[in-house]
Structure 1
């Protein structure tokens, strides 16, 4: 599963989501402005910026990271 923590008006969040959409990779978007518990969880993990991407198969990271996004393949979704 891929979770993408975002906030409105974040260009890096939009670009991250667009890459996943273009690759036809399903993901769950969590808007931290609407979900204060999710925001607190990210802060406790040490994240201070969005997007934060969490995957079951290649780890997690913050910021717009095309290098990491390009490692995600559609078959990763089948391995769940």
Structure 2
């Protein structure tokens, strides 16, 4: 099973779509709210060099921004 992490924030419509997409496909994920979780925000910015949400980490791969086709590819859907 792939390890999936979603870095999001509440007022981000694309973030909601990504989470619904993952849930629809029964993919378990860990969500990090970067608006309240400083450590997650720092990890997203400094480790991943990502400055926008949603940012999705699938194992060692990153999808920065809204890109469902890339998620489908990484998740073998």
Instruction: Settle same-fold status: TM greater than 0.5.
Output: yes
Which residue does 1:14 correspond to in 2?
Answer: 16
Residues of 2 paired with 1:69 and 1:18: CA distance? 13
Match of 2:25? 23
Structure 1: gaps of 5 or more residues: 75-80
Deviates more, 1:48-57 or 1:4-13: 48-57
Runs of 4+ in 1 over 3 A off after TM superposition: none
Residue 3 in structure 1 maps to residue 5 in structure 2: yes
The counterpart of 2:63, out of the listed 54, 58, 61, is 61
Judge conservation of contact 1:4–1:29 (CA < 8 Å) in 2. Answer: yes
Instruction: Please state if 1:51 is matched with 2:57.
Output: no
TM-score by length of structure 1 reads 0.82
Contact 2:63 2:71 in 1 (8 A): no
CA distance in 1, matches of 2:69, 2:56: 13
Deviations 1:22-73 (A, max 9, x none): 111110111011210110111113211001100116x111111111221214
TM-score by length of 2: 0.85
